[in-house]
Amino acid sequence: MKNITIVGTGHVGLVTGVTLAEIGHQVICYDINEHNIAQMKKGISPFYEPDLNDLLKKNLTNNQLFFTNDSKLALADADVIYITVGTPTAQNGSVDLSNIKEAAKTIAENIKKQETIVVTKSTVPVGTNTFIKQLIEENLTNEVMINIVSNPEFLREGSAIYDTFYADRIVIGSDSKEAASIIEEIHRPFGRTIFMTDLLSAEMIKYSSNAFLATKISFINEIANLCENIGANIEDVSLGMGLDSRIGTPFLKAGIGFGGSCFPKDTRGLIEKATEAGQSLDILEAVLKVNKQQKYLLLNKALQRFGNLKDKKIALLGLAFKPNTSDVRGSIAIEIASELTMQGAIVTAYDPLVLEEAKQVLGEKIHYAPSIEEAITNSDMVFIATEWDEFKDFPLEKYEILMNHPIIFDGRNCFSLEMVSKYHIEYYSVGRAILK
């Protein structure tokens, strides 16, 4: 049995720690954030993720999982260390590797086992693993042999636990066969397909996968705009396309574009890598361009309808970058809120989960409502930016009752046209006919 330590207990780190403990490993999770570690010791996750709190509590009780701020305690006996710290975008648009550098130094200063495997799960630019190995070796205080493995994560926020237990594949990349097979053994109890490759190829698989999924979304969004122009229905078009197993239905949902902390960043990261290598990635440039335009889709529709939005009362439903997450990073809803206020609109937003997080970003620019009802009452129009179930289940007749003239701009196609057509609602969605 190997001693496993997780460095960084954000979304990826905590999910990795909890799931490795659940399949029988002894796991120590280390983080510099004292408040979060104290919470997790009590079985409370610092962020929302379905099923996470239950698994966290269970494995704490079983003594499979430990949390600490003490780097010595966390790393001295570790055989395998997962780096799962955040890699945000720096001001100049590049990937900020300061957390990675800090983690590498902490590891180097504290490890003692003769052979240690460092597994990078954080999304790092292609080629960074070699740099991490060098950095650790330069800062070692004991005589330790380091092997490095890339084990990219493919989990989605909001279904991270499910995605880990039902992963389509686990990618393990290393230039050391021995290290790779130890990591394979650790992951075997998940019972999923394990794909072994070299270090650079593993790093490329991560970026190319995210860039490809982003491409699917921008593709379908462009097709949706064409459908709308010529009178076709994008919901049927994506379904009809997706039934071809070579295409597949996932990630063909048209909307107001992709957000979050991964797709925009990773697509840009791959383009930058290509530029460094003296090559351009024209398709991905177009993917980002289409995504940027798509963000303004609802706003443009509203401008077309009203001429201008000055002093219009707008209810914005959804602030999280997607449903079932408490994350507002890269949220298109947040960008829409800012843009609407710049147009002079009076915005009142409601989100089932992230009102506090959104307040930290948007502050007093907008108003915040405690329920859908309060947000939409007497509003001139409603914008739907996130497809929470609560919005989909909200009775449509309430829009008729609570708004003077119900107008909905739905950026996530939450309702079928057939359903909306039963009510007196002016309805604008993505890639489908307008209902008046």
Using CB under 6 A as the binding rule, whether residue 255 contacts ligand UDX is answered as yes
Q: Does the protein bind ligand UDX through residue 384 (CB under 6 A)?
A: no
Give dist(CA 424, CA 403) in Å, integer.
11
Smallest distance from the beta carbon of 190 to ligand UDX, in angstroms? Answer: 16
| Least distance CB 273 / ligand UDX (angstroms) | 17
Q: Does 432 bind ligand UDX (CB under 6 A)?
A: no
Residue from 56, 83, 224, 252 touching ligand UDX (CB under 6 A): that is 252
State which of residues 212, 251, 296, 306 lies at the interface with ligand UDX (CB under 6 A): 251
Tell me which of 22, 153, 357, 410 binds ligand UDX, using CB under 6 A: 153
Which residues between 161 and 190 bind ligand UDX (CB under 6 A)? none
89 is in an annotated binding site: no
> Considering only residues 66, 67, 82, 263, which one is a binding residue for ligand UDX as defined by CB under 6 A?
263
* Smallest gap from residue 213 Cβ to ligand UDX (A): 6
Site membership for ligand UDX, residue 210 (CB under 6 A): yes
Contact segment (CB under 6 A) with ligand UDX among 30-38, 55-63, 152-160, 267-275 equals: 152-160
Size of the site for ligand UDX (CB under 6 A): 19
The backbone region for 338, taken as left when phi is positive above 0, alpha when psi lies in -120 to 50, beta otherwise, is alpha
Cβ within 8 Å of residue 160, ≥6 positions away: 11, 15, 49, 52
Query: Is residue 383 a contact residue for ligand UDX (CB under 6 A)?
Result: no
- Give the binding range for ligand UDX (CB under 6 A) out of 134-142, 143-151, 240-248, 260-268: 260-268
Residue 31 annotated as binding site: yes
Rounded to an integer, what distance in angstroms lies between the CA atom of residue 27 and that of residue 5?
A: 6
Q: Is 298 in the site for ligand UDX (CB under 6 A)?
A: no
Q: How far is the CB of 325 from ligand UDX (least distance, A)?
A: 7
Tell the smallest beta-carbon distance from residue 415 to ligand UDX (Å): 17
Interface with ligand UDX (CB under 6 A), residue from 31, 157, 228, 357: 157
Among 127-135, 182-190, 245-253, 364-372, the segment contacting ligand UDX (CB under 6 A): 245-253
Sign of the alpha-carbon torsion through 331, 46, 159, 107: positive
Residues 311-340, interacting with ligand UDX (CB under 6 A): 321-322
Active site residue 414: no
Annotated binding-site residue numbers for NAD(+): 31, 87, 123, 157, 265, 329
Annotated binding-site residue numbers: 31, 87, 123, 154-157, 206, 251-255, 259, 265, 322, 329
| Contacts to ligand UDX by CB under 6 A | 153-157, 210, 213, 217, 251-253, 255, 258-260, 262-263, 321-322
- What positions carry a catalytic annotation? 262
Annotated binding-site residue numbers for substrate: 154-157, 206, 251-255, 259, 322
